[in-house]
Structure 1
């Protein structure tokens, strides 16, 4: 599985953190171990005092495709 992320694409959040708002999207990857399986608990280690929380949205592309018309895009993702 390949997890491709887009960061700093939300102007208000970047400004809130004091980060510059980039002119082009910040693209980066994460390992598949970054996903928490359904119904598994999220554990915050007792030794940490600095927890930055936010919600991430994940779309899993489940079929190979190229130049997919927007009206057919829903057929290529898992819901």
Structure 2
């Protein structure tokens, strides 16, 4: 049973790492395209803040920013 729990945690850790990488790429793309700096820790913790930032990102003409915002908003379509 301990082995299963540790495998489950490893999967969660890998998923969290992938999410963090995508969020970091989004942060960099948003900063480059708009000059806006976001609080990535608060982005990860507060759904309302994250949605507001993603709404803003979808109005930016930079395709990389919009694509990253969609990946963050709808992760089930990109896994």
Q: TM-score, normalised by structure 2?
A: 0.26
Q: TM-score, normalised by structure 1?
A: 0.26
Structure 1 or 2, whichever has the larger Rg, is: 1
